[in-house]
């Protein structure tokens, strides 16, 4: 039985077809829109979270769960999502993921309570984890070897644009209150985007691994359980006053993750397909990259939420003002990422990582100074400049980080390494929202009013400074001695 010309199947895992696929550019647009949609959903909700809480009620810690319930399953299912594409076909899994994401978005928009919204956010995060890993494999299947690098290079600018639009769009949609939808429009916007992607999925070239790997369900369960037991007690907790049961949960979670590592070695020794290649940990560079990613993205994601919370809960600004206040951060990130990825990293290598972290430190200290000079009831105008510097630091660091992290990885390790880096990035985001969000909320919520919120946000930024100093140290582990010379 012959395949239709619009939907042939490729089983080439690492090489593109000799003849360029004629639907490749429209199909690439669908893939990029699918990726951007998932990033938009995270940043839009961060801006709208205080408004959601005011409408649905519930515990203050639910504000953190609106983001964490998305990023945690996103992190945990990423590698498994990639395996599903290898086994069942990347176009098929991509289509299922986008459809599930759209339905979960509608459910989020209709959620009658905070608890139901958190449950639907979990479904969204799991669907996003199924969507994202398929992109690179589908691009490699549809483009010739000469065009592949150009197609992959388009991912960065699109993600930068999504980072710029996310906070602003969240503020605009919630403030506009279209047809009385308020914050619910932040989820409904995913419906036309998903329909646009689904309209193009028949034009995607089906692709799967020539040798189907096995699905490590036990490893997935161990990883998810271990991380969940660590993250859950941190949400809304005062770390200095956590109960013994919370610390016990964290201890059990760490023990399960150790068991996960041992399980992965056993799976590999038996000749099966582990979720994570154990050989990645035989060199210090990659473990250093995982620690660096966790620390860095915990700061960037956690602080974005804290800035929004202080503006809305501390100063009483509306959601539009909060969203627009993050615009310098987003624009700085997009511009610096383009310059660093296209020019600086190739010329200066690992030094660009250090420069980005130094810029980020300057921005963090400048933000503390801006808060201190403005006072508890005045909008901190100087904060906009500080947030712009923070965005520049993030944009300079990120392209160099991923380049250095993947440089020593061997060809057979690339899929596992890329999936693990993405998973750890989302895990860092989850921990950042949990830890930095808790530092702020524990200091700001109560009878202290704007002054308490002002002190809490400064404390949170100083904690972030400490985490970035630790990031600088861990990033040194990524750099081999020959690279330093």
The per-residue pLDDT for range 173-201, each reduced to its tens digit, is 888 888 888 899 999 999 999 999 999 88
A 10 A CB-CB count for 153 gives 11
| CATH topology agreement for domains 20-205 and 281-480 | yes
DSSP states of 323-356: HHHTHHHHHHHHHHHHHIIIIIHHHHTTHHHHHH
Structural tokens at position 327? 């615009």
**Within the chain, which residues score under 70 in pLDDT?**
1-20, 145, 149, 152-153, 156, 160, 209-211, 236-240, 411-415, 446-448, 480-485
Residue 150 CB neighbours (<10 A): 10
CATH of domain 20-205: 1.20.1250.20
Tokens at 282, concatenated: 């035989």
Residue 439, class by beta-carbon neighbours within 10 Å (0-12 exposed, 13-18 middle, 19+ buried)? buried
Instruction: Single out the residue of 475, 5, 133 nearest to residue 284, CA to CA.
Output: 475
DSSP, collapsed to helix, strand or coil, labels residue 206 as strand
Q: Is the Cβ–Cβ distance between 340 and 447 less than 8 Å?
A: no
DSSP letters for 131-178: HTTHHHHHHHHHS-HHHHHHHHHTHHHHHHHHHHHHHHHHHHHHHHTG
The 3-state DSSP class for residue 207 equals strand
* Chain CA centroid to CA 284, Å: 24
pLDDT of residue 18: 45
CATH topology (fold) of 281-480: Growth Hormone; Chain: A; (1.20.1250)
Query: Cα(171)–Cα(472) distance, rounded to whole angstroms?
Result: 33
Residues belonging to the chain: 485
Q: Name the residue ranges covered by the structural domains of the chain.
A: 20-205, 217-272, 281-480
pLDDT for the residue 237: 67
CB 204 within 8 A of CB 81: no
Q: Is the dihedral of CA 41, 194, 36, 232 positive or negative?
A: positive
**What pLDDT shows up at residue 420?**
83
């Amino acid at each position: 039985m012959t395949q239709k010309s619009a939907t042939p199947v490729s089983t080439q895992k690492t090489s593109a077809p000799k003849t360029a696929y004629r639907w490749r550019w429209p199909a690439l647009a669908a893939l990029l829109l699918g990726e951007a949609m998932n990033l938009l959903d995270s940043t839009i909700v961060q801006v709208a979270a205080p408004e959601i809480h005011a409408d649905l009620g519930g515990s203050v810690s639910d504000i953190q769960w609106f983001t964490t319930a998305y990023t945690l399953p996103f992190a945990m299912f990423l590698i498994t999502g990639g395996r599903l594409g290898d086994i069942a076909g990347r176009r098929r899994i991509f289509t299922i993921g986008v459809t599930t994401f759209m339905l979960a978005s509608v459910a989020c928009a209709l959620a009658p309570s905070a608890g139901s919204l958190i449950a639907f956010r979990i479904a969204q995060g799991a669907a996003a984890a199924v969507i994202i890993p398929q992109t690179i494999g589908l691009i490699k299947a549809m483009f010739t070897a000469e065009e592949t690098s150009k197609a992959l290079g388009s991912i960065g600018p699109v993600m930068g644009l999504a980072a710029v639009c996310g906070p602003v769009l969240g503020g605009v949609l919630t403030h506009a209150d279209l047809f009385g939808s308020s914050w619910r429009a932040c989820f409904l916007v995913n419906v036309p985007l998903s329909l646009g992607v689904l309209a193009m999925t028949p034009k995607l070239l089906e692709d799967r691994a020539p040798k189907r790997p096995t699905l490590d369900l036990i490893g997935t369960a161990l990883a998810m359980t271990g991380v969940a037991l660590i993250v859950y007690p941190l949400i809304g907790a005062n770390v200095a006053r956590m109960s013994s049961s919370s610390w016990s949960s964290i201890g059990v979670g760490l023990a399960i993750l150790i068991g996960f590592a041992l399980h992965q070695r056993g799976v590999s020794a038996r000749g099966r397909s582990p979720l994570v290649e154990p050989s990645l940990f035989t060199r210090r560079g990659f473990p250093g990259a995982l620690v660096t990613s966790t620390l860095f993205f915990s700061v960037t994601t956690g602080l974005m939420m804290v800035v929004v919370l202080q503006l809305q809960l501390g100063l009483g600004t509306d959601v539009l003002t909060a969203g627009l206040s993050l615009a310098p951060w987003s624009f700085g990130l997009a511009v610096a990422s383009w310059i660093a990825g296209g020019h600086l990293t190739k010329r200066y290598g690992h030094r660009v990582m250090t420069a980005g972290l130094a810029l980020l430190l300057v921005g963090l200290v400048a933000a503390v100074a801006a808060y201190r000079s403005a006072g508890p009831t005045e909008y901190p105008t100087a904060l906009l400049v500080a947030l712009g510097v923070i965005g520049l630091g993030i944009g300079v660091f990120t392209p160099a980080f991923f380049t250095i992290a993947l440089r020593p990885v061997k060809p057979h390790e690339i899929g596992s390494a890329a999936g693990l880096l993405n998973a750890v990035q989302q895990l860092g985001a989850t921990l950042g929202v949990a830890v930095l969000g808790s530092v702020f909320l524990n200091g700001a919520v109560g009878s202290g009013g704007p002054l308490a919120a002002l002190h809490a946000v400064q404390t949170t930024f100083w904690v972030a400074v400490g985490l970035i100093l630790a990031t600088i140290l861990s990033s040194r582990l990524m750099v081999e001695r020959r690279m330093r010379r």
